[in-house]
Amino acid sequence: MLLLNHARRPVVSSHGLPSRTYHPLSRVVGRLEQLLEPALKSPPFWVRAEVSSPKEHNGNLYCDLVETRDGTMVARMRCVIWRSDLVEIRREFEANGLELALEDGAEIGLQCRPTFHTNYGLSLRGLALDPEFALGALERKRREILERLLRENLLFANASRPDPLIPNRVGVVTSVGSAGCTDFVETARRSPYGVRILLADARMQGTDTEATVVRALDALDALDVCLVVIVRGGGSRTDLAYLDNEAIARRIASMSKPVWTGIGHETDRSVLDEVAARACKTPTAVAERIVERLDSVARSLQNATERLHIEFEHRMQPNRTILADAAKRLARGPTTSVCQHRERLGAIARAVAITSSARVDRESLHVEALRRAIAVRAAGVLGMRRQEFRERRKSLVKTTTRIEQRHRERLHHARTRLLAAGVARRFDHHRDRIENATRMMRVQSRRLLGHERTRIANQRARLSVPHARLGAAREQLRSHHKSLLKTSARWIASRRLLHDGYRRRLRGPLQRREVAGHAAALRELTSRLAQAATARLRTESRGIAAMRERFQMERFIRQIEQARAQHRSFERTLRASDPRLALERGYSMTLDERGELIQSIRDLTPGTVLRTEVRDGTIVSVVDRTEGTE
């Protein structure tokens, strides 16, 4: 059947070609509507397809229905569900406990009929949706996710994590403030164990569920928690579908800590329940499971404490018998032990006194010998250094005079030669520089000599201080010796009084522990007394050795050598300022007719008379031309 019948035969143009016949678009669309009229009046039928680009406007839903095979689109048609039909569809889904979610990529079973409009073309009008088909699609998606996780050995990965022995630090992924969050927190807080809860907020339904839950799991995995719990309140079966998410399941499988769930659905299990280590029905059930674990640990600790107490009593009974027997034996012989300790303490005290006195006498003699040796050595070194300074001063004066005489002779000789060439003013300038350098050297020499005299005076004053310190150290040693003798005497007297008191008190049968403690205290005090005396003597010896080191004379020698080096440096600087040295090394010096030094070609003009001084004479020349380097 032809789409359009031609009313007349084609007309041949003047070029011999048939002319084209053009039809109005409305005629073509009307003809298509006539051809499609039998299909448009057919009864409604069911279509299985995927929703693409859904958009709701003024209560009406506009979308495309597509069919794909192996990832390739094989069919596509526009679809519209009017507002009245959409309201009925939502009501039917709610009656079956489902929420209508026509999202991009959702597979649906749609009852529809074809429609044709002259402006919008061919499309499908949706009349109803099958709730059972929606449930089947969700179950197929859930089963496919579980099969992929099982193939990749991720389904039971988190279940292999060992449960924490004491789950007292719990990270919770939930919608903060929701009913499920409140139930979990209140149940955990009613327990007597002080469970620490860290909340990580996430959306538990809607398009943001995947991103927020994964982000919350990442944050808790990096914190110091021993258990992670995912909880949400009750909801419809389609609300639970938001948790049938492969990305969330994979993140749970890779967690380093065990994950428990309390999704809040009594009959259905989500993908998260399957991949988690433990799954409970409600948030309250998860909290009760944690409290039960803590109760079990508390009971185990109580049982272990009771067993430990019984074992301790069993092991201590023989020791109590041994202690009782020892106390009886001790009651029979405390007097003898006290007398022996008192005699031993007396002997130790006398030995300490004798040793301390002898040590103090030896150190006093040693200090006195050191003082005399230091005084003799200091006097000899000061005399030697004073004589050496006098000789150095005389040598410095002679050297300075000799250098001045030599420079005067050189200046006189140079002036005599340069007067003939007309350059007296230039050498006068050099003479002033040399005289200034000579004056500076004299001033510096006087300053160095003054500094050295001041240093010698300071060192002489410092040498008088150690004599006084040595005398003070000797008196301090004598004072410590007397104090040590007095302290030993008082301590021995107090110990004797204590022993007499112990002899009167030790008449009871159970005093062995007290006597042993006092004996240990006596031994410790005796050891401390001997150590204190030895330490004090060592400290005084180190002080004397330190004072001995402070009087070494190498420092004075270094200062004298530094003064000599500085004087030689001044002498070299003065000699280097002599212009004759430059001439002797092969350099020359060019002067104009007025005796001024030529420094640039800009100072010269053709015809200028120049005098060039060299090592062995003077060269007179006339400028012909100049050549610059720029």
Structural domain contains residue 629: no
Structural domain contains residue 145: yes
Element (H, E) at 245: none
| Alpha carbons 21 and 61: distance in angstroms, whole number | 41
Angle 558-400-419 from CA coordinates, rounded to 5°: 145
Element (H, E) at 204: none
Read off the pLDDT of each residue in 19-35 and give the average, rounded to a whole number: 81
Q: Give yes or no for a contact between 204 and 242, defined as CB atoms under 8 angstroms apart.
A: yes
pLDDT in tens, 211-253: 999 999 999 999 999 999 999 876 656 567 778 888 999 999 9
CA 368, 369, 373, 376 torsion-angle sign: positive
Which of 50, 53, 54 lies closest to 69, judged by CA? 50
Read off the pLDDT of each residue in 485-510 and give the average, rounded to a whole number: 61
What percentage of the chain has pLDDT greater than the value 90? 12
Q: Give yes or no for a contact between 27 and 75, defined as CB atoms under 8 angstroms apart.
A: no
With a cut of 50, say whether residue 124 has pLDDT above it.
yes
Asked if 165 and 214 sit in the same domain, the reply is yes
Q: What distance lies between CA 16 and its chain's CA centroid? A: 92
* Residue ranges with strand state E in 311-409: none
What is the DSSP secondary structure assignment for residue 164, as one 8-state letter? P
Strands 107-117 and 45-57: antiparallel
Most trustworthy range by pLDDT among 196-205, 388-397, 609-618: 196-205
Asked if 109 and 73 sit in the same domain, the reply is yes
pLDDT of residue 462: 65
pLDDT of residue 28: 82
Number of domains composing the chain:
3
Comparing 64-68, 182-186, 238-242, which segment has the lowest mean pLDDT?
Answer: 238-242
Asked if 178 and 131 sit in the same domain, the reply is no
Residue count (the chain): 630
Asked if 126 and 204 sit in the same domain, the reply is no
What are the phi and psi torsion angles at 436 (to 5°)? -65, -40
Asked if 81 and 187 sit in the same domain, the reply is no
Read off the pLDDT of each residue in 482-494 and give the average, rounded to a whole number: 67
What is the pLDDT confidence band of residue 323, given thresholds at 50, 70 and 90?
confident
Structural domain contains residue 62: yes
Q: Pick from 286, 301, 316: which residue ends a domain? A: 301
Read off the pLDDT of each residue in 66-91 and give the average, rounded to a whole number: 87
Read off the pLDDT of each residue in 250-258 and give the average, rounded to a whole number: 92
Structural domain contains residue 610: yes
Which of 118, 109, 114 lies closest to 43, judged by CA? 114
* Residue ranges with strand state E in 232-322: 259-262, 278-280
Q: Which domain holds residue 164?
A: 139-301
| Alpha carbons 45 and 65: distance in angstroms, whole number | 15
With a cut of 70, say whether residue 540 has pLDDT above it.
no
Structural domain contains residue 98: yes
Most trustworthy range by pLDDT among 287-296, 521-530, 572-581: 287-296
With a cut of 90, say whether residue 552 has pLDDT above it.
no
Structural domain contains residue 390: no
The full 3-state SS of 347-358, as one line of letters, equals HHHHHHHHHHHH
What is the pLDDT confidence band of residue 537, given thresholds at 50, 70 and 90?
low
Dihedral (Cα; 389, 394, 400, 402), 10-degree rounding: -150
Report residue 127 as tokens: 């009349």
| Alpha carbons 418 and 427: distance in angstroms, whole number | 8
Residue of 410 and 333 predicted with greater confidence:
410
Q: What distance lies between CA 131 and its chain's CA centroid? A: 58
Number of other CB atoms surrounding residue 292 within 10 Å: 11
Asked if 145 and 273 sit in the same domain, the reply is yes
Residue of 545 and 327 predicted with greater confidence:
327
- The pTM (predicted TM-score) of the whole model is 0.39
Q: Pick from 282, 301, 320: which residue ends a domain? A: 301
Residue of 569 and 500 predicted with greater confidence:
569
Asked if 67 and 105 sit in the same domain, the reply is yes
Report residue 314 as tokens: 């069993």
Q: Which residue type sits at 184?
A: F
What percentage of the chain has pLDDT greater than the value 70? 68
Structural domain contains residue 193: yes
Q: Pick from 93, 113, 135: which residue ends a domain? A: 135
Asked if 269 and 216 sit in the same domain, the reply is yes
Residue of 21 and 352 predicted with greater confidence:
21
Asked if 129 and 145 sit in the same domain, the reply is no
Asked if 114 and 148 sit in the same domain, the reply is no
CATH number at 105 reads 2.40.50.140
Most trustworthy range by pLDDT among 169-183, 583-597, 598-612: 169-183
Q: Give yes or no for a contact between 161 and 257, defined as CB atoms under 8 angstroms apart.
A: yes
| Alpha carbons 235 and 622: distance in angstroms, whole number | 116
Asked if 256 and 111 sit in the same domain, the reply is no
Structural domain contains residue 63: yes
| Alpha carbons 49 and 133: distance in angstroms, whole number | 11
Asked if 36 and 176 sit in the same domain, the reply is no
Which of 146, 171, 165, 116 lies closest to 253, judged by CA? 146
